[in-house]
Amino acid sequence: MSGDKGSEFLGRLDSDDPVLHAGGYLFEMERRGYLQAGAFVPEVVLEHPEAIAQLHHEFGRAGADIMLAFTYYSHREKLRLIGKEDALEPMNRQAVQIARKVAADHPGMFVAGNICNTNIYKPGSAEAEAEVRAIFTEQLAWAVEEGIDLIVCETIAFLGEAKIAVEVAKEFNKPIVLGFAIHRSGKLRDFDGSVADACKIIRDAGCDVIGVNCHRGPATMYPLVEEIVQAVEPSRVCAFPVAYRTTPDQPTFGSIRDPDQPVPNDVPGGLPFPVALDPFVVTRYEMADFARRCKALGVGYVGGCCGSAPHHIRAMAEALGRTTKASVYSPDMSKHYALGTDKSLKSHNQAYAGSLARNESGHL
């Protein structure tokens, strides 16, 4: 494996201290007004690099180990869709440059290049396979030239597309992490076996870390993780869920329904996904619990995907036993004016506090 950082990354996997991944840039940039939902192309990388750098910093302060270059959906198919193929190479190069520059302020972080679902892969189509291979090859060539430590392949829903991603990535001699995105069916789109079986196949194909990411929140991703660690060495399993409350009945963020949606006609498609998911965001405590349970299984690589924000990542880091740069501002309610316990607080506010969360009958 070339590069000290690549070896260091692999060494971390074999320690008891899981690698912490921070992602969800696409959703966060959309929320912050720098990216358009729909095509979801990260033009922000060229138009407002400072916005990306800021979020990188926030994840670094929150204790993330992975500085993920924001090249998700910066591939030829997406740029073609918006008629901006000219921007393809600059977007890819600049994203890695931004990640590297910010990572320099956060010693110990690993800079990851990022490829993802192409949306053109079609099982059995040699033409599609060749296009997918070309997309992955050009993106990774640019990323490696700009200086990455590892490769993260995200949200792959086809076993066939994952095989191509790993084949291409292996040529660049960097550690490879691959996350399968598991839709509502609970299976990959081109494979009748289990997700765990698919993970074993990809691990055996030379992928260093394999598992699941995106689509599912902690509650519906965890059962898959429990199965995957039976098929693949736990230290080489990755799991980074979306930060949304998914349930067995609505196991993915795309299947969440909002019975209380007050303005249904204003919501694109009438579905919470992708831009009306706000009421379903999980708390930092749920993400922390996921990290803790994954660590107990021996999972080597955990984190957050769409919907996760720095407060989720900080809570996960702390659940893994770390103190982060942002931990100085982690909650301490002892000095809250009404809910706190500090002796200097006014007792009439503390007495009144009992009514804050109770209804008129005095019940919580």
Contact 137, 168 (CB under 8 A): yes
DSSP 83-105: T-GGGHHHHHHHHHHHHHHHHTT
- Nearest to Zn ion of 5, 273 (CB atom): 273
| Cβ burial 45-81 (10 Å sphere, 16+ → b, else e) | beebbebbeebbbbbbbbbbbbbbbbbbbbbbbbbee
- Nearest to Zn ion of 144, 228 (CB atom): 228
> What's the half-sphere exposure (Cβ side, CA atoms, 13 Å) at 89?
5
Q: Which of 164, 157, 138 is nearest to 75 (CA)?
A: 138
- Nearest to Zn ion of 44, 144 (CB atom): 44
Binding-site size for Zn ion (CB under 5 A) equals 3
Q: Cis bond leading into 274, ω under 30°?
A: yes
Residue choice 305, 316, 317, 326 for contact with Zn ion (CB under 5 A): 305
Contact 304, 317 (CB under 8 A): no
What are the residues whose beta carbons fall under 8 Å from the beta carbon of 72, sequence distance 6 or more?
23, 25, 26, 42, 114, 116, 154
- Nearest to Zn ion of 26, 144 (CB atom): 26
- Nearest to Zn ion of 177, 214 (CB atom): 214
Binding part of the chain for Zn ion, among 47-55, 250-258, 300-308, 338-346 by CB under 5 A, reads: 300-308
| Least separation in angstroms between CB 186 and Zn ion | 18
Q: Which of residues 20-49 bind Zn ion (CB under 5 A)?
A: none
Q: Is 306 in the site for Zn ion (CB under 5 A)?
A: yes
Binding part of the chain for Zn ion, among 70-78, 123-131, 138-146, 209-217 by CB under 5 A, reads: 209-217
| Least separation in angstroms between CB 83 and Zn ion | 25
- Nearest to Zn ion of 148, 305 (CB atom): 305
Q: Is 214 in the site for Zn ion (CB under 5 A)?
A: yes
| Least separation in angstroms between CB 204 and Zn ion | 26
- What residue ranges bind Zn ion (CB under 5 A)? 214, 305-306
